[in-house]
């Protein structure tokens, strides 16, 4: 993965191979020594499900946002909803909010009483249900410990 990242950032040049090897070795060593060990088992099937769910929600929500932008008669009911995440605060909750921030129509806006606050274009939509489905898919894909 670090080699692919190097190729994307620096391009392909034979003269850069020694520097690439040193950078990849340093990044791998740092990754292995600084990340806390995890007993989580990654599931390829669950990761594929998470990707498909994310793509589905992105397309549906994107079409909804585009429809609302192009048709001024469609009502907007903006507001805030809170979501009681079961993920521990810190890295896992940050991954979840980052994932859900990419979905059109909802934006994580903070935290209140241990719950994540989301700003939504339409609070009448099943936002909390969709967030629960995303969280379950994320847990099954990455945090199945």
pLDDT tens digits for range 26-54: 888 887 777 666 666 677 888 888 888 88
Q: What is the pTM of this model?
A: 0.64
What confidence tens digit (pLDDT) does each residue in 64-83 have? 778 877 887 877 889 999 99
50-65: b (≥16 Cβ within 10 Å) or e: beebbeebeeebeebe
**Residue range 9-18: average pLDDT?**
81
Task: Tell me the angle at which helices 17-34 and 2-10 cross, rounded to the nearest 10 degrees.
Answer: 140
For residue 39, the model assigns a pLDDT of: 63
């Amino acid at each position: 993965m670090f080699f692919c990242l190097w190729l994307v950032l620096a391009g392909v040049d034979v003269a850069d191979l020694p520097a690439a090897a040193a950078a990849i070795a340093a990044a791998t060593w740092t990754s292995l020594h600084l990340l806390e060990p995890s007993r989580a088992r990654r599931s390829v099937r669950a990761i594929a499900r998470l990707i498909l769910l994310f793509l589905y929600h992105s397309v549906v929500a994107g079409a909804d946002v585009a429809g609302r932008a192009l048709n001024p008669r469609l009502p907007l009911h903006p507001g805030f909803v809170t979501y009681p995440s079961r993920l521990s605060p810190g890295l896992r909750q940050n991954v979840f909010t980052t994932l859900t921030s990419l979905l059109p129509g909802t934006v994580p806006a903070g935290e209140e009483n241990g719950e994540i606050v989301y700003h939504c274009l339409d609070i009448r939509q099943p936002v909390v249900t969709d967030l629960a489905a995303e969280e379950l898919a994320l847990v099954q894909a990455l945090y199945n410990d």
